[in-house]
Amino acid sequence: MSPNDFKTGQDAKHWAEDPRVRDEHRERERERERGDTYKFVESIHFCCTIKFTMFRNQYDTDVTTWSPAGRLFQVEYAMEAVKQGSAAIGLRSKTHVVLACVNKANSELSSHQKKIFKVDDHIGVAIAGLTADGRVLSRYMRNECINYSYTYESPLPVGRLVVQLADKAQVCTQRSWKRPYGVGLLVGGLDESGAHLYYNCPSGNYFEYQAFAIGSRSQAAKTYLERKFESFVDSSRENLIKDALFALRETLQGEKLTSSICTISIVGVGEAFHTLDQETVQGLINEFEVVGEEPPADEAAPPEQGAGTEAALAPAAPAAAAADEGAPADQGVAPMDI
Amino acid sequence: MNFADSASAMKNLLGSEGDSQRTLYPYVTGTSVVAIKYKDGILIAADMGGSYGSTLRYKTVERLKPVGKHSVIGASGEISDFQEIMRYLDELILYDNMWDDGNSLGPKEVHNYLTRVMYNRRNKFNPLWNSLVLGGVKNGQKYLGTVSMIGVQYEDSHVATGFGNHLARPILRDEWHENLTYEEGVKLLEKCMRVLLYRDRSAVNKLQIAKITEEGFTISQPYSLKTFWDFAAFKNPTVGAEGSW
Amino acid sequence: MTKQQANWSPYDNNGGTCVAIAGSDYCVIASDTRMSTGYSILTRDYSKIIQLADKSVMASSGFQADVRALQKVLSARHLLYQHQHNKQMSCPAMAQLLSNTLYYKRFFPYYSFNVLGGLDHEGKGCVYTYDAVGSYERVGYSSQGSGSTLITPFLDNQLKSPSPLLLPAKDAVTPLSETEAIDLVRTCFVSATERDIYTGDKLEIVVLNASGIRREYMELRKD
């Protein structure tokens, strides 16, 4: 096969015979056989395999190059960055949205970075991934809110801000001289159509959720939220915070939940977006008895989907939640019953 | 705006009119708009004359237009500028509707947007030569505001532009109250319009009244007011004026 | 067609009077609510007072469109300040910001006459008074707007503040109690309303002190 054949892309047979490409295909076949649904966001697994088989990925050097399988690796890597960040979760009722995150210091000597930002009185974001990118995007969102209320003297609808944000992220996936933002944002807010929670992804995709979790070990929190989300719609403000704390604990995998390692923020009807102070949070943790528990000895860490990196991140941390991909939620070894 | 800009603008404004690309004075104008709040919403009245100086040039100019689902705008001043404003507003509402997300611009938002447009144009020394009235109801909230060509804006329970501010508002201050029914409101507006018809030479006897409530808006078909001209001075205005016919 | 309008002007004067008095632990900011153009009243109930931060309140008269634009700029700037610093702007900081914002438009000015009242870091009342292009001064009391020519000499007479030339500098705050200051403000406006056609309808008084902010209203002559 000559390089020219590839460029013109006239004949699919030619590039399909390329061993590296063939390998990709085989890998996908194997995934299907395993019964895994192929997920865009969890492709790191896949990339690692390619590296392990000693093939350099030739489609990942810039954002604008497609892989023959129809993927943009740079964008996917950016989405991996979101998983590296410490967890952030969000959940909403009809009237309130709660954002919560785990604060992890970079070193023993440093303080942690701020992960929840107020955008306006009616909107806030929790981020996971590159905090620096998160700050830039929060500043953009603040500006948009200020500009909108300058023109209309009313708050910018949450969904519209999220679309603007997603469009901004999308541009970075289509310009050779740019890089995608390496941050995932949970955008919570209130407008005339109610309370909203969105997840914004580096790819420019966005989704609306009842509850969601992002960042490292967020799968455990997601499992908790999946089990309980149906009750969130009519949840009270206090119960929402309670569920936020419990979901947050899931991501800690045995570490004790204290107010010093988490931030809780809330926005809702009659309540401008604000972050609860540490004493309040500790009070709630005590009140709800969200104790961190020692992991049972017999419980092994079940691999998450795409656990390659997650495990590498915390090789020694045993998982608190066994309920994972494939396992029915209620059957999972739930760390606590409420 | 920087100095160079404003200075050249000022020069342009004061310099010869022939090469000006800006509105130095209006051509075809509409006269007063009168509007009130009433029990269930807003009523706005305007006649349909378009004056070219002292010539009654157009007789069916619609000066009341809907803006989205909740608001109606009434305009006096340069008609072409108003039609330009309507192009802005229609686009604004179109984009608002395209989101289709349960949020919509209400009268307050539209009024503020208009104020920004008018003020920005005056900052460029290129005004839109209008006085605008914006009324609407959204979420049970009645809204009635006005904005002038230099961006002066305010809300009130009753507003009027141009001659209306001199002739109609004193009547409204006398007779307006919060609990006017629709019939009483229309009657009050017609009283104002009749006074304007008698005393404002550019007013014509063909008007429309817009009603905006929580349910939406309706703009009436054009109609006329009953007038009375049998005063002695009207019958033979030149009697006693020697030399006239 | 012959030209009918007089040369167009980007400015108008919508009238109005503003007064602010600083005391040792309070600040009173007051303004009437009439808005006029020429000999016409546009509305009888338009507030000229805006709270820009926890402890700074601005009263402005002049050209309403410029005043509104100025208020919006300051509010937006204060939002940015809060995002960046996680606190409310202090009154002296807001005073400097107001000056800069006015001067920024030095060659196409905001036609607005402002007094900024508030409490400083020590909780002491402070009043800043401005011209349209941003020069400003901290004083003990001030009056701006259409009725200021009637009110300023009266306040000078009643509140004889220590000369700013004195060394060491003396406090400019007035010796009155809060209630005395409010009464004085009421008297000022009742008097100004008698002679100034641009002042009237209603008086709005904002009082800032250690316990927070409070608004009071008093009817004025409507003719």
**pLDDT tens-digit series, residues C168-185:** 877 888 999 999 999 999
Mutant choice from C2, C4, C5, C8 vs B, greatest count of B C-beta within 10 A: C8
- Report the sign of the C-alpha dihedral through residues A148, A150, A151, A152, in that order: positive
Cα distance from N-terminal residue to C-terminal residue, chain B: 58
Q: If pLDDT is split at 50, 70 and 90, which confidence band does A17 have? A: low
State ipTM. Answer: 0.93
In which band, very low, low, confident or very high, does the pLDDT at A291 lie, cut at 50, 70 and 90?
A: low
- Tokens for A49, please give them: 């395999």
Cβ within 8 Å, pair A157-B101: yes
CA dist A129 and A141 (Å) reads 17
The enclosing H or E element of B6 equals: helix B3-14
**Residue from C192, C70, C176, C56 nearest C119 by CA:** C56
Contacts of C108 in chain B (CB under 8 A): 1, 3, 6, 123
| Average pLDDT score, chain B | 92
Q: Report pLDDT for C167.
A: 84
* Candidate from B3, B150, B151 with C-beta closest to C107: B3
Q: Are B99 and A160 in contact (CB under 8 A)?
A: yes
Residue A310's SS3 state is helix
Distance from C-alpha of A134 to C-alpha of A207, rounded to nearest angstrom: 18
* Distance separating alpha carbons of residues B117 and B178, to the nearest angstrom: 31
Calpha distance A84→A104 (Å, rounded): 12
Whether residue A309 is predicted with pLDDT greater than 80 in this model: the reply is: no
Residue C6, in any domain of the structure: no
Closest by Cα among A216, A220, A203 to A309: A216
Instruction: Please identify among residues 135-164 of chain B the ones whose CB lies closer than 8 Å to any CB of chain A.
Output: 139
Task: Provide the pLDDT for residue C171.
Answer: 80
Is residue A43 scored above 90 in pLDDT? no
Tokens 């023109």 sit at which residue?
A151
Q: What's the pLDDT tens digit per position in C42-86?
A: 999 999 999 999 999 999 999 999 999 999 999 999 999 999 999
> In the Cβ-directed half-sphere of C48, how many Cα atoms lie within 13 Å?
39
Q: In this structure, is residue C9 part of a structural domain?
A: no
Per-residue model confidence (pLDDT) at position A42: 43
Q: What is the DSSP letter of B159?
A: E
Q: How far is CA C62 from CA B162, B241, C16, in A?
A: 21, 48, 7
CB contact under 8 A, B6 and C108: yes
Mean pLDDT for all residues in chain A? 80
Compute the distance between CA of residue A193 and CA of residue A211 in angstroms, rounded to an integer: 17
- Residue B103 to residue A153, Cβ atoms within 8 A: no
Q: Which amino acid is at A56?
A: R
Closest to A193 (Cβ–Cβ): which among B101, B109, B116?
B101
The arithmetic mean of pLDDT across residues A294-320, rounded, is 40
CB A174 within 8 A of CB A63: yes
Asked, for residue C4, whether it belongs to a domain, the answer is: no
Per-residue pLDDT tens over the stretch B129-163: 999 999 999 999 999 999 999 999 999 999 999 99
Count the alpha carbons within 13 Å of A234 in the hemisphere toward its beta carbon: 2
Contacts (Cβ under 8 Å, ≥6 apart) of C55:
C88, C90, C91, C118, C119, C208
Query: Mean pLDDT, to the nearest integer, of A260-277?
Result: 96
Using the 8-state DSSP alphabet, how is residue A231 labeled?
A: G
- Pairing type for strands C125-130 and C136-139 reads antiparallel
Q: Is B120 on the interface with A (CB under 8 A)?
A: no
Length of chain C: 223
Strands C202-209 and C212-219: antiparallel
The per-residue pLDDT for A5 is 42
Distance from CA of A83 to the nearest CA of C (A): 27
Q: Report whether pLDDT(B72) > 80.
A: yes
Nearest-Cα distance to chain A for C84, in Å, is: 10
Closest CA to B136 of B169, B170, B152, B113: B113
Domain boundaries, chain B: 32-225
Angle at A233 between CA A232 and CA A239, to 5 degrees: 40
Task: Give the relative orientation of helices C64-85 and C91-104 as an angle to the nearest 10 degrees.
Answer: 130
Provide mean pLDDT across the span A3-11. Answer: 43
Q: Which domains does chain A have, with CATH numbers?
A: 9-71 (no CATH), 85-331 (3.60.20.10)
Q: Say which residue the tokens 């528990």 belong to.
A: A293
CB contact A152 to C (< 8 Å): no
- Cβ contact A146–C72 (<8 Å): no
Distance (Å) from the alpha carbon of B201 to chain C's nearest alpha carbon: 15
Nearest CA in chain A to C79: A146
**B241 vs C99, higher pLDDT:** C99
Bridge-based pairing of strands C56-62 and C112-119 is antiparallel
pLDDT of A44 above 90: no
- Give the alpha-carbon dihedral of A152, A158, A161, A166, to 10 degrees: -170
C83, C84, C86, best to mutate vs chain A, most A CBs in 10 Å: C83
For residue A131 the two structure tokens come to 């905090």
**Residue whose tokens read 């209008």:** B130
Average pLDDT over residues A95-122: 95
Chain B residues with beta carbon closer than 8 angstroms to that of A154:
106, 108-109, 112
User: Is C73 part of a structural domain of the chain?
Assistant: yes
By percentage, how much of chain B surpasses pLDDT 90?
83
Q: Looking at beta carbons, which residues of chain C come within 8 Å of A150? A: 72, 76
Which residue among C43, C68, C105 places its CB closest to the CB of B156? C43
Residues C1-21: pLDDT tens digits? 555 566 899 999 999 999 999
Tell me the fold of B32-225: Glutamine Phosphoribosylpyrophosphate, subunit 1, domain 1 (3.60.20)
| pLDDT value at residue B244 | 81
Tell me what pLDDT residue C166 has.
84
| Interchain contact, B152 vs C12, CB within 8 Å | yes
Give the domain CATH number at C117.
Answer: 3.60.20.10
Structure tokens at A11: 């004949």
How big is the A-C interface in CB pairs under 8 Å? 9
Type of residue at B238:
T
User: Domain span at residue C205?
Assistant: 17-219
Partner A contacted by B245 (CB < 8 A): no
> Given pLDDT bands bounded at 50, 70 and 90, which one contains residue A7?
very low
B58 and B50 in contact (C-beta within 8 Å)? Answer: yes
Mean pLDDT of all residues in C77-102: 98
Across the range A113-119, mean pLDDT stands at 96
| Per-residue pLDDT, A292 | 59
Strand A211-214 and strand B28-30: the pairing is unpaired
Mean pLDDT calculated for residue range A277-302 = 71
Q: Which residues of B touch A151 (CB under 8 A)?
A: 112-113, 116
CA torsion through residues C203, C204, C207, C211, sign = positive
**Above pLDDT 90, what percent of chain A?**
64
More confident residue, C35 or A313: C35
The answer to whether the Cβ–Cβ distance between A150 and C83 falls below 8 Å is: no
Subunits next to B (3 or more Cβ pairs <8 Å) are: A, C
CB proximity A142 to C under 8 Å: yes
By Cβ distance, the residue of A153, A154, A193 closest to B102 is A193
| Token pair 């030209």 in the structure block, residue | C3
Q: Are strands B50-52 and A211-214 parallel, antiparallel or unpaired?
A: unpaired
**Do residue C107 and residue B7 have CB atoms under 8 angstroms apart?**
yes
Q: How far apart are the C-alpha atoms of C220 and C200, rounded to whole Å?
A: 5
- Asked whether the predicted pLDDT for residue A326 surpasses 70, the reply is no
Task: Report how many domains make up chain C.
Answer: 1
What would the mean pLDDT of C159-163 be, rounded to a whole number?
81
* Chain A nearest CA to C68, separation (Å): 11
The Cα–Cα gap between B162 and B26 comes to 14
pLDDT averaged over chain C?
95
CA distance B111 to B96: 15
pLDDT (average), residues B84-105? 97
**What's the rounded mean pLDDT across residues B41-69?**
97
pLDDT at A15 exceeding the cut of 60: no
B181 is catalytic: no
C107 touches chain B (CB under 8 A): yes
Quote the CA–CA distance of A57 and C93 in Å, as a whole number: 56
| Residue B233 pLDDT | 74
Q: Are A184 and A82 spatial neighbours (Cβ–Cβ below 8 Å)?
A: yes
Give yes or no for a contact between B75 and B30, defined as CB atoms under 8 angstroms apart. Answer: yes
Residue C114 near residue C60 (C-beta atoms within 8 A): yes
- Scanning C66-85 for CB atoms below 8 A from A yields 72, 76, 79-80, 83
What was the pLDDT predicted at C170?
79
A25 — pLDDT class (breaks 50, 70, 90):
low
Cα-based distances in Å from A146 to A154, C84, C144: 10, 14, 30
Q: Find the mean pLDDT for residues C192-201.
A: 98
* Cα–Cα distance, B48 to B221 (Å, whole number): 11
- Radius of gyration from C-alpha coordinates of chain C: 17
pLDDT digits (tens, 9 = 90+) for A197-245: 999 999 999 999 999 999 999 999 999 999 999 999 999 999 999 999 9
